[in-house]
Amino acid sequence: ADIFEKTAQELAQQGLSCQCLGGGRLSHRPGERRIHVYGYSVGFGRADHSVTTEKLKAKYPDYEITWANEGY
């Protein structure tokens, strides 16, 4: 929620608005070049982790990037 609120304020200063579609967590293991997207946000619910994963794969093509709905 803290990150979303900060980002929403920054966007509002530019005349833009945003909406949080859900949340989750990331497990980042840079030494192994792995990112795992999982879980949910108590306040915002669960994000569509498949969308997050595809965006991460585009940015980090040399990483193994996975996702699951399990976990908090």
**Domain limits, the chain:** 21-68
pLDDT confidence band for 33 (50 / 70 / 90): very high
| pLDDT at site 72 | 76
Please check whether the domain covering 21-68 is classified as CATH 3.50.20.20.
yes
Closest C-alpha among 44, 2, 3 to residue 24: 44
Phi, psi of 37 (to 5 degrees): -105, 130
Distance CA 49, CA 54 (A): 9
What tens digit of pLDDT does each residue of 45-67 get? 999 999 999 999 999 999 999 99
Is the pTM for the entire model greater than 0.75?
Answer: yes
Alpha carbons 24 and 13: distance in angstroms, whole number = 26
Instruction: State the CB neighbour count (10 A cutoff) for residue 45.
Output: 12
Interatomic CA distance for residues 70 and 65, integer angstroms: 16
